Amino acid sequence: MDDFVTLVEVGPRDGLQNEQQTLPAATRVELIERLSGCGVPVIEAGSFVSPKWVPQMADTEAVLAGIDMKSETRYPVLVPNLTGFERAANSGAREIAVFTAASETFSQRNTNCSIEESITRIGAVTKAAKNADIKVRGYISCVLGCPYEGDIDPDTVVNVCEQLVRLGCSEISLGDTIGTGTPALANGLVKKVASTIPVEQLAVHFHDTYGQALANILACLDAGVRIVDASVAGLGGCPYASGASGNVASEDVVYMLHGLGLDTGIDLGSLAATGDWISKQLQRRNNSRAGVAYLASKHA
Ligand code: HMG
Ligand code: MG
C-alpha cells in the first residue's frame, strides 16, 4: 500500500469563496505562500468564475500574479468555461480544475446549465487546455447527496466520472458537497468508481456538515484513495448548497494521516499556525480541532 497521501489544499478557493468578507488579493497571496511553506504539495489558488456569481474570487488574476510559484508545488485554479480558461491561461496557470455535478438541480444552481451542457463546456475547456499543455483536474459535486434532490444514484457518478476522464481530466475529485455521506456509502462509491477508473486518479472532497468527514476519508483510504482535498482551519462551504459547512480541516486530516503512519510532506505545526493566522484575518472561529489542540498544547 502506497504510504504517501497527496493533500490538495482548497482553502484559498473553496474556503474563501464562501466567506462573508472578500479578502484583499495580498492576504490571499500570503495564505498561499504560508501553505506552500508548510510543504503542502497542491494548493487551489482561486477561481476564474463569473465575479457576479462569486465576488470573493474576483481578483484571482492578482493572486496568481502575486505568488512565487514553486516548481514542486501545483497551483490549480477553478474554471467554469472558456472565458475562465482564457483568464487562467493569461495569468500563467499551469493547472486548472473543471467542475460538474451528479445532480441536475445542483448543476443548474451552480453553473446555470444541465450536466450535459456542463460536459460540453468542459470539453471545450479541456481541448484548449490540452493545446496549451495545461493539466486538468475534474470535480463532481453531490456524489453522496444533493441539497435539492436528496440521494444520488452511484451509476450517475460513475457515468459523469467516465466522461470527465474521456475528456482528459487526469484526476477526479469526488465531492460530498453537503457532507451528508457516511463511511460505508463513501467506501462503496469509491470501489464502484474504481472498477472503471484507476483508484490512483481519484481524490475525495468532504465537507464536514455532519461530522463524518474524517471517518469518510478513512473509509476511502481503505478503498485505496491517496488524494484528499481539505481546507486549512476548515474554511469554506458552498454558496449554492445552503447549509453546507466548510471542508474537512487540513490540520485534522494531516494529524490523522500521520497517526496512521502515512506521509504527507506537511509540517503540522506550521499548518496549525497558518490555520490560526487565517482565522484571525477573517475574524472567525478556527474550525480545526487538531489545529486548536496542537497550538494549545504548545502554549500550555
Ligand atoms: P451565466 O450567467 O449563465 O453565464 O453563468 P453567461 O455566460 O451568461 O455570463 C454572464 C456574465 O458573466 C457575462 O457578463 C459574462 O461575460 C460573465 P455580462 O455580459 O453580464 O457583463 N462571465 C464571466 N466573467 C468572468 N469569468 C468567467 C465568466 N463567465 C461568464 N469565467 C457561469 C454561468 C458558469 C459563468 C456561472 O454560473 C458561474 O460563474 N458559476 C460558478 C459558481 C461557482 O463558482 N460555484 C462554486 C464553485 S463549485 C464548488 O464549490 C464545488 C466544489 O468545491 C466541489 C464540491 O464541494 O462539491 C468544486
Ligand atoms: Mg467543495
Is 47's C-beta closer than 6 angstroms to any atom of ligand 1?
yes
What would the pLDDT profile of 3-25 be if each residue is shown by its tens digit? 999 999 999 999 999 888 899 99
Whether 238 sits among the annotated catalytic residues: the reply is yes
| Nearest-angstrom CA–CA distance, 103 and 240 | 13
> What does DSSP assign to residue 144?
T
- Helices 25-37, 268-282: axis angle to 10 degrees equals 170
Q: Identify the structural domains of the chain with CATH numbers, from first to last.
A: 6-298 (3.20.20.70)
Distance from the alpha carbon of residue 65 to the mean position of ligand 2, in angstroms: 24
Nearest residue (CA) to ligand 1, atom 29: 50
pLDDT number for residue 239: 60
Low-confidence ranges of the chain (pLDDT < 70): 1, 237-244
Q: Which residues neighbour 158 within 8 Å (Cβ) at sequence distance 6 or greater?
A: 192, 193, 196
State the DSSP code for 12: I
Distances (CA, A) of 54 to 88, 149, 181, 185: 16, 23, 26, 31
pLDDT (0 to 100) of residue 244 = 67
Beta strand pairing status for 95-101 and 135-141?
parallel
Which three three-digit cell numbers place residue 73? Answer: 508545488
The residue whose CA has the least distance to atom 51 of ligand 1 is: 141
- For the stretch 183-224, pLDDT in tens is 999 999 999 999 999 999 999 999 999 999 999 999 999 999
pTM over 0.85: yes
Q: Which of 10, 49, 207 to mutate to test the pocket of ligand 1 (most atoms within 8 A of CB)?
A: 49
Please tell me the distance between residue 299's alpha carbon and the centre of ligand 2 in angstroms: 33
C-alpha cell at 247: 471542508
Residue 148 in grid coordinates: 435539492
**Contact partners, residue 24, CB within 8 Å, separation at least 6:** none
Catalytic residue among 38, 161, 220, 238: 238
Residue 245, pLDDT score:
82
Question: Atom 21 in ligand 1: which residue has the minimum CA distance?
Answer: 52
Atom 17 of ligand 1, residue of closest alpha carbon: 50
What pLDDT is recorded for position 236? 83
Q: Cell 473553496, residue? A: 14
Rounded to 5 degrees, φ, ψ at 21 are: -95, 145
Contact between 287 and 233 under an 8 Å Cβ cutoff? The reply is yes
Atom of ligand 1 nearest to the CA of 175: 57
Nearest residue to 219 via CA among 177, 182, 261, 171: 182
CA distance 164 to 16: 26
Question: Would you state the pLDDT for residue 300?
Answer: 76
**Phi/psi of residue 101, nearest 5 degrees:** -145, 165
The set of cell numbers assigned to 206 is: 468532504
In contact, 271 and 250? CB cutoff 8 Å: yes
Please report which ligand is nearest the Cα atom of 175. Answer: 1
Cβ neighbours, 10 Å, residue 5? 23
Residue 53 in contact with ligand 1 by CB distance below 6 A: yes
Tell how far the Cα of 112 is from the centroid of ligand 1, in angstroms: 8
